[in-house]
Structure 1
Amino acid sequence: MKTFTMLTASAVFVALAQTASLAAEVHVLNWKGYGADEPWAIAAFEKATGNTVINDFFNSEQEMLTKLRTNPGLYDVVMINAAFNDQATSEGLIEPIDASKIANYADLGADKSKSPMLNHNGKVYGVPWVWGLTSIAVNDKAFDKTPTSIQVMWDPAHKGRVVLRDDALEAMQFGAIATGQNINNIKDLDAVKAKLTSLMPQIRTFWSAENDWNQMVAANQIDVGTYWSGSAGRAKKNFKLPVTFVVPEEGAVGWLDAFSIPKGSKNVAGAEAFINYMIDPSFYVQWDNKVGAPVSANTKAVAQLPADSFNRAVLGDPKVANRIQFQAPVPDDVRQKYLQIWQELKVNVK
């Protein structure tokens, strides 16, 4: 499929709609407020395919996995961070995807579509959607010059005005970067714990939702904090907040979000149509222009952005790319160890 507009459907979508006509509801397990549930996009998809989207939401990957485990057959599409795809696959929560039925799949970057995190035993279990960074973002009002180092989080000048996301894995990986370590192979966990312990007196609060972060900046309550690249873009573009996203010299955590089809889906054709729409350049460019988005896994979509856009000019810069460490799957025992350390650290924050 070459084009798709908000007013007319392509021939591919018409064919998919006809296939899905017997089961017109597409149940999606989704992040709330993260592109795939944009009202204008859902309306366009429904008009093009004849399907009706029913969204259910989660606030963490662990909650997402729990919902898949406890509601077999309820969902047709699920958004999964690629680092969790292996776990979902091994538990039998998602099923193989016939990529030949997703027209836009051919335009995905090979480094994303061929990721071993999304492909198992020669089968596709996840269609890459967007990727981005977890790094730091700053309140422009608090800085005469945008900082370039992650160490700004420890600057006493910002005591009580620093935030971290309430997520154990993300916190440990952030600490790994701050101590010069590989996020996927932390050799000195004691150093990470010590570094994060020294950060706790700086912390104002722990955030869990994008809206929380934005409200604190809008009220000028924080100076700097961990944030997602796409969220920072939305804060600036959609809400006109004084936010600048920083990829520090020490590096940043990279992540890849993908769509999968849960085991027992009752509307596989509708799921394929939904995924195809979500990786279509026409949707992505409108999403980025209207709201602000992470980087599309579709190379043609990124190429349609302005040359000076953040997702092309900055995240497309090879020098920046070299500083990104992409998340890999984390064993359960390691994840549990991270959670224990994180809970200990939070106790000391007033």
Structure 2
Amino acid sequence: MNRINRRVLLGAMSAAVLAGSAGLAMAAGEIRVLNWQGYGTDEAFATEAFEKKTGVKVVHDYFTSEQEMLTKLRTNPGAYDVVLINSAFTGQAKAEGLIAKIDTSDMPNVKDLAPSMGQNPDLVPGGDVYGVAWTWGATALAVNKDKVTPLPTSLALLWDPQYAGKVSIRDDGVEAIQFAALALGQDMNDIKDLEAVKAKLKALMPQIKTFWSSENDWNQFFSAGDFTVSTFWSGGAGRSITKGLPVAFVVPQEGAVGWLDSLAIPATSKNQDAARAFINWMIDPEFYVQWAAKGAPSSANAKANAALPDSDFNKQAFADPAVVARVHFMKPLSDETRKAYTELWQDVKTAQ
């Protein structure tokens, strides 16, 4: 079989995705995925179904921060075939030549992506796809609904003296600064008065009982009663609720920090046909509905969202367009700005 015919055949197989295209094993015996641990792509039911239908095994490696993800791509050329990238970092990865332009012509589920997600300019600069929109969500307020009544409507809750020593936020300088900016009525993606933000964060420090850095941390601290009021991810809140924790998730009037995650293909991947087939499976409604039952972020696939039951957490949390409008999606930051934010955050924490 010549190279051209083989590519045509593999393209057809990718389009079929999980329609019995075992021939993909010709292109790759396995693909390697770089992601946060426990974030969808490593769900056993999903990887097993993909391997059964395509013959391609899915192997994972993990990162604990976006900076670590970029470092792994830089220092391990050829090691990965699919990578999870937040839209705020896609431009940097593209500029460094770390990710490839994706031909989505043999990825039928791409057509069902919500236009605002699938055509996000940070993922599709100039019309070329460098990240396939996958999931999105918001970091907002999560409270113990048994102890906070009525439910809050404002970020001012974090500074309320009533909850002194009962507050937690994620130990992330950029996110902390963004929340302080929102609380002050500033544009979190274009902060004009950083000194005011710093003062606002200093005022928050006496309220803090503990910082959290992972979903596991958050659930343990919440279950132990270490805090009553916190910031948290929408997907995490949904999973906590499925575990029976008395969590209420609120997008406050000042807004929430939004994020859009995509699946990209490293420029050095040698298995791009299989990588596209795997990404197509990850945005498939069949996969997403099963994942959502366990607690997942919102899907960028409109068809997948429509297939969810009305009781779904994300469907309820973001049913109101006015709520979605209050979600401020993170934009890319320069290295200089990110460094300044990190230094400010360290100053605030050490001064408490």
TM-score by shorter chain over 0.5: yes
2:255 pairs, out of 246, 251, 254, with 251
Alignment of 1:316 onto 2:319? yes
Whole-angstrom distance in 1 between the partners of 2:237 and 2:174: 20
Contact kept? 1:92, 1:263, Cα under 8 Å: yes
* AA of the residue aligned to 1:73: G
**Stretch of structure 1 that moved more, 139-148 or 336-345:** 139-148
User: Within 5 Å, which residues of 2 pair with 1:259-278?
Assistant: 259-278=263-282
1:131 pairs, out of 125, 132, 136, with 136
Whole-angstrom distance in 1 between the partners of 2:304 and 2:126: 29
1:182 pairs, out of 165, 183, 187, with 187
SS at match of 1:262: coil
2:232 pairs, out of 215, 227, 235, with 227
* AA of the residue aligned to 1:79: L
Whole-angstrom distance in 2 between the partners of 1:86 and 1:188: 26
Contact kept? 2:83, 2:263, Cα under 8 Å: yes
Contact kept? 1:80, 1:260, Cα under 8 Å: yes
Contact kept? 2:134, 2:260, Cα under 8 Å: yes
Contact kept? 2:17, 2:281, Cα under 8 Å: no
Aligned length: 339
How far off is 1:16 after superposition? 5.2
1:346 pairs, out of 327, 333, 349, with 349
Aligned twin of 2:163? 158
Residues 37-86 of structure 1, C-alpha deviations (whole Å, 9 max, x = no match) = 12222222222221111111111111111111111110000000011000
State TM-score, norm by structure 1: 0.93
Contact kept? 2:210, 2:226, Cα under 8 Å: no
* AA of the residue aligned to 1:170: E
User: Within 5 Å, which residues of 2 pair with 1:1-350?
Assistant: 11-14=16-19, 17-237=22-242, 239-289=243-293, 291-349=294-352
Provide structure 1 residue ranges, at least 5 long, that are not aligned to the other structure: 1-8
Whole-angstrom distance in 2 between the partners of 1:240 and 1:308: 15
Whole-angstrom distance in 1 between the partners of 2:340 and 2:189: 14
SS at match of 1:141: coil
* AA of the residue aligned to 1:166: D
How far off is 1:213 after superposition? 0.1
How far off is 1:311 after superposition? 2.1
Do the aligned partners of residues 16 and 93 (structure 1) sit closer, same or farther apart at CA in structure 2, a change above 3 Å counting? farther
SS at match of 1:56: strand
Residues 172-204 of structure 1, C-alpha deviations (whole Å, 9 max, x = no match) = 111111111111111111111111110011112
Whole-angstrom distance in 2 between the partners of 1:117 and 1:337: 23
Contact kept? 1:20, 1:267, Cα under 8 Å: no
RMSD over aligned CA atoms reads 1.6
SS at match of 1:101: coil
How far off is 1:120 after superposition? 2.5
Do the aligned partners of residues 218 and 72 (structure 1) sit closer, same or farther apart at CA in structure 2, a change above 3 Å counting? same
Do the aligned partners of residues 309 and 23 (structure 1) sit closer, same or farther apart at CA in structure 2, a change above 3 Å counting? closer
Provide structure 2 residue ranges, at least 5 long, that are not aligned to the other structure: 1-13
Contact kept? 2:15, 2:106, Cα under 8 Å: no
